[in-house]
């Protein structure tokens, strides 16, 4: 398989923030990633997933302290930017029954590797990611809050996401169990 790639939309917000912290970012960024501080990032271009995770690591170190762990906040912010920005058309009608199709469309539009699927059941869903080309602990942490925001954008208010399996720990897929309360419940 070729090098796993991510769409530039995943880079834009991070790079903008890192540019505001240029001196600190230059100290933390490996030489191979410093060009992102000067390059124009195209939301539609493909970039190495490995670079994305390298930028995430530095971003997490430079984020101001807050209520949430930096990687959790990054996952949440990424989801909101995707849901409210370029991919908002996928959420114009937040119908739960089309959520699995919207999730696959969203994943495939941002990553060139990985099989992402959601299986719905009454008040819960199983989410699986397999064959992802650049798994990392950082991505593991960011996916949970991303899923929370994704399900909220589909009209669900109280969402609980639990990671059940991880390919980095030897499982064949990364698997999350998502549970929610019915609207008004």
Question: What digits encode the pLDDT tens for the residues 2-49?
Answer: 599 999 999 999 999 999 999 999 999 999 999 999 999 999 999 999
- Please tell me whether residues 108 and 97 are part of one structural domain: yes
Q: Is residue 123 part of a domain?
A: yes
Number of neighbouring beta carbons within 10 Å of residue 77: 18
CB 44 within 8 A of CB 8: yes
Q: Is the pLDDT of residue 185 over 60?
A: no
> Buried (b) or exposed (e) across 40-56, using 16+ Cβ within 10 A?
ebeeeeebbbbbbbbbb
Q: How far apart are CA 86 and CA 55, in angstroms?
A: 21
- Please tell me whether residues 101 and 117 are part of one structural domain: yes
Q: Is residue 148 part of a domain?
A: yes
pLDDT of residue 90: 78
CB 145 within 8 A of CB 72: yes
**Tens-digit pLDDT profile for residues 121-131:** 988 999 999 99
Over the Cα atoms of the chain, what is R_g?
Answer: 16
pLDDT bin (cut points 50, 70, 90) of residue 1 is very low
pTM over 0.95: no
Q: Which domain holds residue 52?
A: 5-70
> Buried (b) or exposed (e) across 122-135, using 16+ Cβ within 10 A?
eeebebbbeebbbb
pLDDT of residue 2: 58
Of 142 and 90, more confident: 142
pLDDT bin (cut points 50, 70, 90) of residue 85 is confident
- Please tell me whether residues 132 and 87 are part of one structural domain: yes
CB 15 within 8 A of CB 51: no
**Tens-digit pLDDT profile for residues 50-73:** 999 999 999 999 998 888 999 999
- Please tell me whether residues 85 and 113 are part of one structural domain: yes
Q: Is residue 93 part of a domain?
A: yes
pLDDT of residue 181: 81
Work out how many domains the chain is built from and give that number: 2
Average pLDDT over residues 91-95: 75
Question: Which among 41, 70, 99 is the end of a domain?
Answer: 70
Q: Is residue 185 part of a domain?
A: no
Question: Which among 25, 55, 70 is the end of a domain?
Answer: 70
- Please tell me whether residues 114 and 36 are part of one structural domain: no
Question: Which among 70, 88, 120 is the end of a domain?
Answer: 70
- Please tell me whether residues 52 and 81 are part of one structural domain: no
- Please tell me whether residues 31 and 64 are part of one structural domain: yes
Q: Is the pLDDT of residue 182 over 70?
A: no
Q: What is the mean pLDDT of the chain?
A: 92
Of 185 and 183, more confident: 183
């Amino acid at each position: 398989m070729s090098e796993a790639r991510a769409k530039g939309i995943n880079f834009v917000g991070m790079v903008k923030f890192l540019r505001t912290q240029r001196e600190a970012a230059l100290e933390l960024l490996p030489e191979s990633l410093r060009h992102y501080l000067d390059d124009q990032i195209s939301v539609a271009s493909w970039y190495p997933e490995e670079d994305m995770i390298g930028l995430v690591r530095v971003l997490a170190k430079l984020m101001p302290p807050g209520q949430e762990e930096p990687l959790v906040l990054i996952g949440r912010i990424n989801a909101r930017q995707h849901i409210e920005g370029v991919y908002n058309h996928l959420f114009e009608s937040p119908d739960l029954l089309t959520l699995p199709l919207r999730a696959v469309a969203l994943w495939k539009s941002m990553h060139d590797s990985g099989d992402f699927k959601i299986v719905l059941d009454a008040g819960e869903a199983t989410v699986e990611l397999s064959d992802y080309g650049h798994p990392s602990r950082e991505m593991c942490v960011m996916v949970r809050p991303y899923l929370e925001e994704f399900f909220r954008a589909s009209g669900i208010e109280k969402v609980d996401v639990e990671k059940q399996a991880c390919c980095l720990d030897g499982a064949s897929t990364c698997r999350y169990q998502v549970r929610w309360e019915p609207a008004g419940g």
